[in-house]
Amino acid sequence: MKIKDLLQKETLIFSFEIFPPMRDGDITELFTTIKELVKVDPNFISVTYGAGGSTQDMTFEIASRIKNHVETEVLTHLTCVQATEKEILEILDHLERENIRNILALRGDPPKGEHTFTKIDGGFGYANELVEFIRAHGDFSIGVAGYPEGHVEAPDIDTDIQNLKKKVDAGADFIITQLFFNNDDFYRFRDKAVSKGITVPIIPGIFPIFNFKQIAKIASLCGAAIPKSLFDQLSAVSDRSDEVARRGIDHAIRQSEDLLGNDIPGLHFYSMNKSNHVTHIIRQLNIDRKVHYESEKRITGGTV
Ligand SMILES: Cc1cc2nc3c(=O)[nH]c(=O)nc-3n(C[C@H](O)[C@H](O)[C@H](O)COP(=O)(O)OP(=O)(O)OC[C@H]3O[C@@H](n4cnc5c(N)ncnc54)[C@H](O)[C@@H]3O)c2cc1C
């Protein structure tokens, strides 16, 4: 089902993000995780594209298996990185053949060591161009990325939201946000987006911290600020991994509870390819929808 339709049908949706294993990695372990994730009945699972050294073809292989062998909807990420219009067209044809109907359209990051993204000949410079192209060449529900604290390259949040509006005007159906730890950042961002005329659903992205080393990585990769109170709580137990995870997950639960009381269309969890943290959060939240906890999802088609 298209996520656009899901958002109209369900009062609240929730989803998990996974990433393909590194180059030459084995996806068996990932599908063990996916089997655990689907036990709490997410509305969809999103699969990242080319991020963190993973191969791009693997994104589509994993997305196709989730869609066609695991009874769960899928959102495949797609970036403009090193891709011409012709190549994107081939990808769209492939996705349609694989019965994949949802795409998160992204520009992607500049290559390692470079600070600016350079458009290649015959390619796309910004995500709004990719959205427009997908809309013109296929029957997909399209999501785009939003940044509650502003994108790292944007001069200010207002300019970034104007650019977000370009993606919506080009045909995006929904927005999934970058991770954030302070809900006020999300509420301010949403208010500004609405005041700029953005009316599509904005789904907050939640990252449960379960490892102290992740904190430095988060700041360097996406610039999300960790509130001092949370940082102090985690650094006080930095040498006890189980306690860091307990406190990080507890923060994600409290953050989600607050969001649930503030008119969100859904929650998107960055799983980091681990099932226990995010499924625990879903069970704690007791989300009021047709959740079949522990429902035995039938996995068909042999090894998935
Ligand atoms: C939910 C989510 C999922 C992600 N998944 C992946 C993934 O799978 N793979 C991956 O490689 N990366 C992923 N990313 C990271 C993303 O690729 C980077 O953040 C990237 O730097 C920007 O992508 P974008 O689609 O937001 O770009 P854009 O929307 O194109 O924005 C990039 C920058 O350009 C500005 N801008 C946008 N449009 C215009 C315009 N028309 N004119 C002038 N300036 C403009 C924006 O303000 C922003 O500063 C994800 C991010 C999020 C939030």
pLDDT along the chain (304 residues), means of 10: 94 95 85 97 96 78 96 96 95 98 95 82 97 98 98 96 98 98 98 98 97 85 89 94 96 97 97 96 80 43 35
Burial class of residue 109 in the structure, from the number of CB atoms within 10 Å of its CB (0-12 exposed, 13-18 middle, 19+ buried): middle
How does strand 202-206 pair with strand 73-79?
unpaired
* Domain coordinates in residue numbering, the chain: 3-210+250-284
C-beta of residue 23 within 8 angstroms of C-beta of residue 266: no
Residue 113: DSSP 8-state: T
Count of CB atoms situated within 10 Å of the CB of 114: 9
Predicted local confidence at residue 302, as pLDDT: 35
Residue nearest atom 43 of ligand 1, based on CA coordinates: 163
Q: For the structural domain made of 3-210+250-284, what CATH number should be given? A: 3.20.20.220
Predicted local confidence at residue 222, as pLDDT: 84
Predicted local confidence at residue 49, as pLDDT: 95
CA separation for the pair 17, 15 (Å, rounded): 7
Ligand 1 pocket mutation pick from 107, 153, 168 by most atoms within 8 angstroms of CB: 107
pTM listed for this prediction: 0.94
- Helices then strands, each counted (H, E), the chain: 11, 8
C-beta of residue 197 within 8 angstroms of C-beta of residue 158: no
Find the 106 Cα to ligand 1 centroid distance in Å.
Answer: 5
Q: Which amino acid is at 86?
A: K
Ligand 1: lining residues by beta carbon, under 6 Å: 48-51, 77, 79, 104, 106-109, 126-128, 145, 151, 153-154, 160, 163, 166-167, 176, 178, 205
Predicted local confidence at residue 288, as pLDDT: 60
Find the 146 Cα to ligand 1 centroid distance in Å.
Answer: 8
Known active-site residue 153: no
